[in-house]
Structure formats: structure tokens, C-alpha cells
Amino acid sequence: MNTGPYTLWEKIKRSPRRKMRSFVKHIALLSIFVLMLIALSGCGRIKSADELYKLAVRTYGECEIVSQTENEDGTVLVLRDNLQGFEYKMTSGMNDIVIDGSSFGSVENTGSTFSKALSEYVFSQCLDELETICEEAGGTCDTEDVSFFIIRTETAEEAEKAALACAEVIQAYNLQGRMDNWELACYEGDGSTRTYSVRFGSVKLPNIEWISHEQEIINYYSEMARMVTDEKAQYVRSEEGIFSQTGADIDRVVQVLGTDYPTEGSSPVTFYFFRASDGTEYYLCDFNYYDDDHYNYSWFTNYADVVPEEKK
């Protein structure tokens, strides 16, 4: 079964015929992209200190300017957050556009260290407590990883206990919801290595609720269903099956490296069933599928076949 949001990277492989078709289309898209970059390069400019300050206030809240630098290379503001007292940077500069060794001008790039500074501030206040919680649950924690906060334990029960307790502590620093949707992710392990092969689940701020890995996958495909079919679709159930039961054409399956995409009629497939706005039940499967022209692709679903056109 595909693991949806936990695939680290995806690369599409195509047959020779598809590669040629794709090559031509990519050339056309690249040409359009280059023209757009050229247009953008003509109108970009470095933001002033005043513009950066106003952007910081709109985005993160009231702050004070600690220092500022403005020159032809860019603008750098060091700001102090009024709410929690930590310092962070806002920057603006020009980035060169280089494609295959050719220069196409430059575009403005705005940067911020707010999230990193906020997390460092939070951990400076409570990391000892968080480490104690994880140790008492039989695990370890890591703040220098791909996620905001990683917990590794031997069992899912230990992970859940540690994650909920740690989230309670961290949530106290989530003032004005500025850490909403930050994730405490849990994996199997003893902390000696950074492994990701077995994921137990997670907790997302501000809700102090455990989300098992199985529920994470359901949530992911529910989001995909609402994106590509019915925005009010409601998850019903999931069932394991095989590719031949889907009614799909195996030649139109997108071959995504790193995922268990179907290769034959007996390949395992997971069917996620949803209820559309009109009450009709349909399914979305855990593989990507090309359209008739092999140009665009999305998750395979029988939505168009079972939901009346006037109800969509």
C-alpha cells in the first residue's frame, strides 16, 4: 500500500513512447517557464527595510527593529518579537536565474528565520522537560531532524504517551496560534540512528490528540479525495483489493519510484471509499493515473462514473 505523504521523493518513469511525448511537452513548458522568468526578472527589486518590517508585523505580529542593513546586495533586518522576546531575521535579496549555464536575470527573494527562531526559543525553555518525558516513556527525542520534533520509542503505546505529554508542554508556548499545525512525529527506534521505516503516528498543535499512522493515511487520502473529486466528500471505509477490480488500464498507471504502484492485474490496491455530497458512494485508489492524453495525472477514482454530472 502506498504511504501517501511519507514518500520522500517521487520520480515519474515512462515508456519510450511516453518519454518522446513528454519530451516535446516539457520543451514547450520550459519555453513558457523561461519567458515567465525573463518577465519576472525585469520587475523584481530588493525590499526596503520598511517593507520588510511591515511584512514581519503582518505575518508574525508586533516586533522591534534591533538592527538593519540596506545596500545593493540586499536588506537584512534583525527583529525582536514582542510576544515572546526572541530575535529573528527578515531578508530580501536578488537571486540569479541560471538554467543549463545560461543566465536569465534575477528575481527578488524574501527570507525569514522566524519559525526556526521560535522553535529554538521554545526548546530553550522546555527541552529538559521534554527529554525527561520521553525517557520516562522509554524513548528519545530529536529537535534537529526533518520535522519540528521527533520522538522515537520501541512501541506505539510509548510513542503516544510521550507525544501527548510533550504536546501539552509545547502548546503552552503556542501563543496566538503561531505554532498551529506544527507536528510532533513518532517513529520506531532507540535514538541511536535516525530511522523512518516504521512510523507510529503524530500529534499536531494545537490539538492534543493522538493520530495513528493508519489514521494519518486515511486523512491524507481524504484530503486528496476532496481535492480531486468532491470538496465535501466524507470518508466511509477502506478495503484491500487487487488492480483488476478497479476497472483501470494498467498502461495508464503512473510509475512513481519509491511507491508500490500496480504492475499487473494481481497487484494489491487499497480502495478508499467516500460519500459524495449527493450521498453517492465512490472510491479513490492509492495509485496515480494518467488522463486520456497521458499528459496530466491524478489519483485513480470512479467518481466520474458513478456520480451524476448534475450532482458534481
Write down the pLDDT at residue 310.
63
Q: pLDDT tens digits for 131-157?
A: 999 999 999 999 976 678 999 999 999
Residue 268: which H helix or E strand, with range?
strand 268-275
Task: Tell me if residue 79 falls in helix, strand or coil.
Answer: strand
The torsion angles phi and psi of 170, rounded to 5 degrees, stand at -65, -35
Q: Residue 290's pLDDT is what?
A: 95
**Which helix H or strand E contains 233, and what residues bound it?**
none
d(CA 114, CA 88): 5
Q: What pLDDT is stored for residue 235 in this prediction?
A: 98
Which triple of cell numbers denotes residue 63?
516586533
Of 213, 212, 288, nearest in space to 246 by CA: 288
Q: What pLDDT score does 37 carry?
A: 52
User: What whole-number distance in Å separates Cα of residue 174 and Cα of residue 122?
Assistant: 9
Q: What is the pLDDT of residue 147?
A: 74
Q: What pTM does this model have?
A: 0.78
Give 8 or 41, the one with higher predicted confidence.
41
Give the full edge-to-edge strand order of the sheet including 297-301.
234-242, 268-275, 281-290, 297-301
pLDDT grade, residue 12 (50/70/90)? very low
pLDDT number for residue 41 = 46
What pLDDT is attached to residue 2?
45
d(CA 124, CA 116): 12
What do you get for the CA distance between the two ends of the chain, in Å?
29
* Span 60-104, pLDDT tens digits: 999 999 999 999 889 999 999 999 999 999 999 987 676 766 666
Q: Render pLDDT for 104-114 as a digit per residue (tens, 0 to 9).
A: 677 888 999 99
CB 47 within 8 Å of CB 53 = no
Lowest mean pLDDT of 15-24, 55-64, 274-283, name the range. 15-24
246/73 Cα distance (integer angstroms): 56
What pLDDT, in 10s, does the model give residues 231-256? 999 999 999 999 999 999 999 999 98
Across 25-39, 241-255, 281-295, least confident range: 25-39
Mean pLDDT for the chain overall: 86
Q: In DSSP terms, which residues pair with 201 in a beta bridge?
A: 186, 212
216 has a pLDDT exceeding 80? yes
> Are 274 and 284 a contacting pair, CB within 8 Å?
yes
pLDDT band per the 50, 70, 90 thresholds, residue 115: very high
Would you call 28 exposed, middle or buried from its count of C-beta atoms within 10 A (0-12, 13-18, 19+)? exposed
Residue 190 is predicted with a pLDDT of 81
Domain boundaries, given as residue ranges, for the chain: 49-112, 116-209, 218-311
Q: What is the DSSP letter of 253?
A: B
